[in-house]
Amino acid sequence: MPYRDSGSWNAMISGYCLNGNAANALELADGLPIKDVVTWNSLITGYAQNGLANEASNIFHMMEESKDISPSQGTWVSILPAYSQLGALGQGMLIHARVIKDSMWSDIYVGTCLVDLYGKCGRLDDAVSLFDEVPRQSSVPWNAIISCHGVHGHGERALEFFREMLDGEVKPDHVTFVSLLSACSHSGLVSDGEWCFCLMQENFGIKPILKHYGCMVDLYGRAGLLDVAFEFIKSMPMKPDGSIWGALISACRIHRNVELGKYASDRLFEVDSENVGYYVLLSNMYANAGKWEGVNDVRSLARGMGLKKTPGWSSIEVDKKVNVFYTGNQTHTQCNEIYKELKELCEKIKANFVLQDVEDDEKEHILMSHSERLAIAYGIISTPPKSSLRIFKNLRVCGDCHSAIKCISDITGREIVVRDSNRFHHFKDGSCSCGDYW
C-alpha cells in the first residue's frame, strides 16, 4: 500500500462512505497498519448514514476492543445516531453515562444526539428533560426536539417548541421547516403547515428546496386533498423529482385513487426508474385498492429491471442486547419458540374474529410473514407478561401488519410501540395512536 498520511487515508474512507460504498471503506481501513480515532469515527458514521446501523454498532465495538483508542466527541456523535436507528436505548444510555463522566454532556452536538436518541427511542419525556440542559443558542437542538415530537404525531407540541424557539430569538433554518412541515403532515395540521411554508419564505427568506415541497405534497395528500396536492406540484418552480411524485402516490394509496396514482407513477419513472422503493409503493397502492393485476405488473416490471426489494428488518432490545430480525428469519437461537408463539397468536386472532376483512386462509400468512411480527413474538417470550414492547423497523409498516399488531396488543394486554420509517405507533387495547393516519 503506498505511503500516505492518516489524514489522506481517512479522507478516502469518508469519500467511499459518502458515495454509499461503506463496504469498500471498511476494506480500505482493514488494510491500514494503524487506525486512529478519526478512522473509526468515519467508518461508524459511514455505515450509520448508509442505513447499516447494526454494522455501525459492530464497528464501534471493534474500536472499543482496540485498547489504544479513546473515544472522542466525534465518536459519540457518530455512534448515537446508529443506536437511535436501532432503538438501542440501553446501549445509548451507557454512552450517556460515559458522556457525563467525560464532561461532554454540555456539548451542543453530543447533547443534541442524546435528545434525538431518547426521542426516537420512544422516551419523549426524557428527550425534553435533556433538551432543557443542552445549550440552545443555535437551531440544532431545536430541530431535534421538533422532529422528535413530529414522529410521535405531536404536531401541536412541535409548533409550540417552534414558537418558543422564535421567542428565544433563535433563527430557524431549512432543517427546522422540514421538521415542522413533517410534524404538521403526521398530525393533519394543514393550515399550520401552510402557515409554516409561507413563514419560512416571507419572514426568514428561506427558499424552499425539494424536501419542503415534498412535505407539502405529503401534508395535502395525507389529508385527502389530492387535487390540491396535484395542483401544488404543477405550481412548483423546479422539476419534481421522485420523492415528490412518490409522496403523491403514497397519498393515492391511502385514499385509493388509482387513476391519479398511475399518472404520478408514470411521471416518477421518467425521473427515477431504478429506486425499488417506488415500485413497492406503487404495488402497495394497487394492493390497497384490490387491483391485483396491477400488483403483478409492477412486480414483473421491477424483476425485469433486476431490482431487489430492500430487506425489511426490525429490532428489539431486551436486557440491553439488540436483536435484529429480517423477514422470514430462521437463524435466531430461539427460532422454534418464536414461530410457536406466532402460531399461537394466529390462532387467537382467528378465534377472536379480528381482521374480518381478510379471508381465513390469508390470516396465518399475514401474521407470520414480516420482521416486526418476529420481533414482537421474541419480545413476548422474553419479557414479563403485560410489559410493553418497543420495536424499530427500517421500512414503513404495512396495513396488514398494522391491523395485526392492533389485535396482538388487545390479545396480550401489552402496549406495543413500533417506530417505522415514517413515525411512531403506540398500540394499546386494540387501537393505535396514529388513528390509522400514517
Over residues 214-237, the pLDDT tens digits come to 999 999 999 999 999 999 999 999
CB 60 within 8 A of CB 66: no
C-alpha cell at 22: 461503506
Among 36-50, 89-103, 151-165, 351-365, the least confident range: 351-365
DSSP string of 365-417, one letter each residue: HHHHSSHHHHHHHHHHHHS-TT--EEEEESSPPPHHHHHHHHHHHHHHT--EE
CB neighbour burial string for 231-249, b if at least 16 within 10 angstroms, e if fewer? ebbeeeeeebebbbbbbbb
pLDDT at 359 (0 to 100): 47
The whole-chain average pLDDT of the chain stands at 89
DSSP string of 9-25, one letter each residue: HHHHHHHHHHTT-HHHH
Listed in sequence order, the residues at least 6 apart from 95 whose beta carbon sits closer than 8 Å to its beta carbon are 76, 79, 80, 83
pLDDT at 161 (0 to 100): 98
CB 117 within 8 A of CB 83: yes
Q: Would you give the distance in Å from CA 326 to the centre of its chain? A: 16
C-alpha cell at 51: 442505513
DSSP 311: P
CB 252 within 8 A of CB 216: no
pLDDT class for 60, splitting at 50, 70, 90? very high
Mean pLDDT, rounded, for 242-268:
95
pLDDT at 266 (0 to 100): 95
Distance CA 146, CA 195 (A): 16
pLDDT class for 427, splitting at 50, 70, 90? very high
C-alpha cell at 400: 396488514
Q: pLDDT above 90 covers what percent of the chain?
A: 63
pLDDT class for 310, splitting at 50, 70, 90? confident
| Strand pairing report for 313-318 and 321-326 | antiparallel
| pTM as predicted | 0.86
Listed by start position, the domains of the chain span 318-432
pLDDT at 50 (0 to 100): 82
Question: What tens digit of pLDDT does each residue of 388-409 get?
Answer: 999 999 888 887 889 889 999 9
pLDDT at 288 (0 to 100): 83
pLDDT at 363 (0 to 100): 45
pLDDT at 265 (0 to 100): 95
Question: What tens digit of pLDDT does each residue of 174-202 get?
Answer: 999 999 999 999 999 999 999 999 999 99
pLDDT at 77 (0 to 100): 96
- For residues 52 and 141, the model is more confident at 141
Q: pLDDT above 70 covers what percent of the chain?
A: 91
pLDDT at 356 (0 to 100): 42
C-alpha cell at 293: 393485476
**Residue 7 reports pLDDT greater than 90:** no
pLDDT at 5 (0 to 100): 56
> Strand 431-432's sheet: what is its strand order?
321-326, 313-318, 389-393, 416-419, 424-428, 431-432
Question: What tens digit of pLDDT does each residue of 235-250 get?
Answer: 999 999 999 999 999 9
pLDDT at 386 (0 to 100): 94
**Residue 18 reports pLDDT greater than 80:** no
Mean pLDDT, rounded, for 52-72:
89
pLDDT at 148 (0 to 100): 97
Among 25-29, 37-41, 383-387, the least confident range: 25-29
pLDDT class for 352, splitting at 50, 70, 90? low
